[in-house]
Amino acid sequence: QHNLHLLSPQQIELAKMLLETGQTHLFEHWAEPGVEDDEKKAFFDQVARLDSSYPGGLASYIKTARELLADSKAGKNPFDGFTPSVPKGEVLTHGDDNFINFEDMGVKEARKAAFVLVAGGLGERLGYNGIKVALPAETTTGTLFLQNYIESILALQDASCRLAQDDCQTKIPFVIMTSDDTHARTIELLESNSYFGMEPTQVKLLKQEKVACLDDNDARLAVDLRNKYRIQTKPHGHGDVHALLFSSGILKVWHDAGLRWVLFFQDTNGLLFKAIPAALGVSATRQYHVNSLAVPRKAKEAIGGITKLTHADGRTMVINVEYNQLDPLLRATGNPDGDVNCETGYSPFPGNINQLILELGPYIDEITKTGGAIKEFVNPKYKDASKTSFKSSTRLECMMQDYPKTLPPSARVGFTVMDAWLAYAPVKNNPEDAAKVPKGNPYHSATSGEMAIYRANSLILRKVGVQVADPVVQVFNGQEVEVWPRITWKPKWGLTFAEIKRKVCGSSTISQRSTMVIKGRNVFLEDLSLDGALLIDAVDDAEVKVRGPVQNKGWTLENIDYKDTSVPEELRIRGFKINKIEQLEKKH
């Protein structure tokens, strides 16, 4: 009360809201008026931020928190009344006619697309000290994840414009969602690398705010233990991206510019853009309002399962059921074994890789109604079975793939299943946890993420007629992986199957110990016989034919231990480094 005269009208409103929502305790230990006034001002600044960054404001957050905490205490099942079943989607086989047609369509549509990368997470499971998008996707060329994404978008932009009949000047917009944990370092990475060739005006960063932590079932906000004039905060999850896109006004700008698609993706999947053209082609052909990319999923793998949920009252929806919820849901609905592999060796539920393609028009219609708010959940860790107190404060969370939960049944929600070797190799687990992954399940580590790129490129070249040798099995950081020839190319060399096929002719061979790096656009492989390392670097206009035998000592992989702190963290987490012994360099 006695501090009131110091407050601005806006601060008085916020104070009233806090008192009316049962947050009196926040002011209990405040000093006398005139003492620590700067801290008090900073408190209201924080409350104002928490209030304005949440759809409906802080009062609405507290109200929802009370409801969700009551449901959680009562043990209410979020899927109450719903029965899960395996949904039907578009299942693609890489390289067949259907796939090629979808890719062709996807490239045409790309000039009407915008890309959104969610990169606000610190990746606690990986334990890497930097931001994840700054990690090399592979160490043969050292291409970083963010670089790979930007170069892929630029390659799509060029390919799409080349197909267009008109004088195409399209610059595909690229939004990155950051958080306080990643924002400054993402800007620095972009600026110190000249935006990896993208025009800075194409890139927009939207920073998500954290949300208030909750101390108990009454949703009393948690006071920061280090400063009694602050509220504890934690990340709210990748679902924030929808509210941020809405409040930034950017969706309307895109709509007015004639865009039709928004593609969402995550921070560390070095294969993703091999799947994008075909997936976008599916969206356009099937006219999906929502299209999720999926891969065959091993039971208990830490990726969500795409599931059809049918309610007793007849409602149905196709939605991601998160990996920790799928098993209990199955057990509760007449599947006593829970989340298990079927005769194919995979879970019958396709795995969500959280690559969503939304049609912009229906997306804007929907989030204009909701403000971009996504259905939230709460996951308190209770002290005991009475569920009356928490071990530590909790908060509401939301996931971007829950967007379809508020859609009407008429919405066209589909999904597209691709081969995992082509589409999905995230870097999420630290070496120790990866080594503990059950045999046969993917490691999702820096080691497996890099090896997956070489495998995918090798398999693609095999499909277009190159004789690529079989891999050998090696162990790095306790993980058994297939080591294929280290083949990499810039996205502009070949983003689609048809484009790669056009650039390979004659009969070429590549031995297992080989390394091949293609950096030009018009590089053609013709009767190449490679046993060693070959680096081809050509300017865009140069047409280069690569022929004949190339043999040298090549580049080798040397084991390193992840505990060896003399080695940079980016390498250590892979368990190997590349020794560049001898190579042939072709520059044009």
Min CB(267)–ligand UGB separation in Å: 3
Neighbours of 31 (CB within 10 A): 13
Which residue(s) pair with 308 in the sheet? 85, 318
Taking CA 214 as the corner, what is the angle to CA 17 and CA 177, rounded to the nearest 5 degrees?
90
Backbone angle region of 389, left / alpha / beta, with phi > 0 → left and psi within -120 to 50 → alpha? beta
Min CB(42)–ligand UGB separation in Å: 24
Min CB(7)–ligand UGB separation in Å: 32
Min CB(71)–ligand UGB separation in Å: 20
Answer yes or no: are the C-beta atoms of 444 and 269 closer than 8 Å.
no
By beta-carbon proximity to ligand UGB, the closer residue of 248 and 552 is 248
Of 237, 233, 126, nearest in space to 177 by CA: 237
User: Nearest 5°: phi and psi at 503?
Assistant: -100, 5
By beta-carbon proximity to ligand UGB, the closer residue of 58 and 398 is 398
- Can you state the percent helix, strand and coil of the chain, rounding each to 5? 35, 25, 40
Token pair 């233990």 is at which residue?
225
By beta-carbon proximity to ligand UGB, the closer residue of 177 and 550 is 177
Min CB(38)–ligand UGB separation in Å: 30
By beta-carbon proximity to ligand UGB, the closer residue of 159 and 306 is 306
- DSSP 8-state code for residue 470: P
By beta-carbon proximity to ligand UGB, the closer residue of 23 and 325 is 325
**Which residues are CB-neighbours of 272 under 8 A, at least 6 positions away?**
149, 152, 265, 353, 355, 423, 424
By beta-carbon proximity to ligand UGB, the closer residue of 107 and 453 is 453
By beta-carbon proximity to ligand UGB, the closer residue of 106 and 237 is 237
Residue type at 476?
Answer: F
Distance CA 475, CA 447 (A): 10
Min CB(332)–ligand UGB separation in Å: 20
Min CB(448)–ligand UGB separation in Å: 13
Positions that interact with ligand UGB (CB under 6 A): 118-121, 177, 179, 235-238, 266-267, 303-304, 320, 322, 352-354, 399, 401, 426, 428
Of 454, 463, 522, nearest in space to 488 by CA: 454
Distance CA 69, CA 266 (A): 29
By beta-carbon proximity to ligand UGB, the closer residue of 205 and 332 is 205
Min CB(4)–ligand UGB separation in Å: 35
Min CB(504)–ligand UGB separation in Å: 31
Neighbours of 503 (CB within 10 A): 18
Min CB(503)–ligand UGB separation in Å: 31
Distance CA 146, CA 411 (A): 33
Min CB(203)–ligand UGB separation in Å: 16
Of 8, 18, 26, nearest in space to 58 by CA: 18
Min CB(202)–ligand UGB separation in Å: 20
Backbone angle region of 448, left / alpha / beta, with phi > 0 → left and psi within -120 to 50 → alpha? alpha
Q: How many helices and strands (H and E) does the chain possess?
A: 16, 30
Of 332, 288, 291, 276, nearest in space to 309 by CA: 332
**Which residues are CB-neighbours of 568 under 8 A, at least 6 positions away?**
none
By beta-carbon proximity to ligand UGB, the closer residue of 15 and 302 is 302
By beta-carbon proximity to ligand UGB, the closer residue of 206 and 231 is 206
By beta-carbon proximity to ligand UGB, the closer residue of 18 and 420 is 420
Distance CA 66, CA 21 (A): 10
**Which residues are CB-neighbours of 8 under 8 A, at least 6 positions away?**
none
Neighbours of 425 (CB within 10 A): 27
By beta-carbon proximity to ligand UGB, the closer residue of 159 and 329 is 329
